[in-house]
Every structure is written in structure tokens, then in C-alpha cells.
Amino acid sequence: MRLFVGLGNPGAKYARNRHNIGFMAVDEIARRHGFAPWRRRFQGETSEGTLGTERVILLKPTTYMNDSGRAVQEAAGFFKIAPGDVTVFHDELELPPGKVRVKIGGGIAGHNGLRSISAHIGNDYRRVRLGIGHPGVKELVHGHVLSDFAKADNDWVATLCEAVAEHAGLVAKGTDATFANRVHLAMQAKGFLTKDENGKE
């Protein structure tokens, strides 16, 4: 069994924030793969289903970002899911918009949601880092992540969430590099992340 956690803040006010792209990704996984209706528990909302042969629990903590770890710990404890079988989908400032990277363990790069999760279950979980771009200077980060995506961003955000959902079974299987590659190709097919914008990609 796998636990897929989407990070974000609850409520309509935050729904389109850059910080909420993790919520958007798991919502699309649930929709695309016909998961069960969302229900409230574990200080969050959960939906259950299967990706390939893997049973997957989706979790959206409703604790607010900075306390996400409480919900993750509760759900993981209930289902007896080890940190290595937990995957967290989150916004990543250090990647260009639409870029995806997967890593296990490592630093938290100042992300308060990850900080909370690491404090509650340790550091050995998988992170699917969803690039939102950096505003350029540190002082603008808070406003950047808690602002809505611009209208011009809607197409790449939708394409990214669709690609993540389509290939989510690869994450459930643990084939992270293949997943990241498939998502990248899907983005390029729609005209995003072209070689010119990204140099060596």
C-alpha cells in the first residue's frame, strides 16, 4: 500500500495558490483513475483507489501547510505505511515552472510542509517536486507561493497535473526516473519546457 500526499492549504481562498499545486495533482489523480469519493479523516481528506497493481491512499492534509506532518503521521500510522512508501507532491521554487523531479530523502529547501512531515515521520519519504519557478529574490518568496497562478499559467499547470496523474502508477511502482521522463515528454509535446527555454534539457 502507498500513501500519496498532496500539500496545500485548505479552503477556497488558497485553492489556486502556487503553494497548492500538490492538492491539484492528487485531485487529478483521484479524478483520472476513478478513486473513491473524498472523505474527512486523519486531519485531512482521503480518497482510496488503485494505480496498476498498487493500492493507493491519497491524502490532502487540512491542517494548513505548516502542520501537514500531523495528518501524514496519523494516516501512515493507521495504515501501517512505512516512510519509504509515502510520496509527497509539493511545489518547488528551485525548479522552473512545469519541471518535475523526484527524490527520496534529502533536504527540505525551506518548505514548511516538508519540514513538518520530516519532523513527524523522518526524512526517508519520496518527494515529487513540482516546479513553480522562483520570483528572483528571497523577500518575494512568501508572496509568490501564496499568490494564485496567473491566467497565463493555467495551461501548463493543467498539463502538468494531467501528466502527473496519467503516469502516477510509475511512482506507485517506484520507477521514479521513468515517471519524471514521461511527464517531461508530455510537457514538451504540449509546447512547454522546450530546449530553448531550459538550455540543456
HSE-up of 49 (CA within 13 Å, CB side)? 24
- What is the largest distance, in Å, between two alpha-carbon atoms of the chain? 47
19 in active site: yes
CA distance 182 to 171: 11
Binding-site residue set: 14, 64, 66, 112
Q: Of 70, 95, 73, 68, whose CA–CA distance to 86 is shortest?
A: 73
Element (H or E) spanning 39, and its range? Answer: strand 39-41
Contacts of 75 by beta carbon, 8 Å cutoff, 6+ apart = 3, 41, 42, 44, 46, 57, 59, 81
- As annotated, the binding site for tRNA includes 14, 64, 66, 112
Catalytically active residues, by annotation:
19
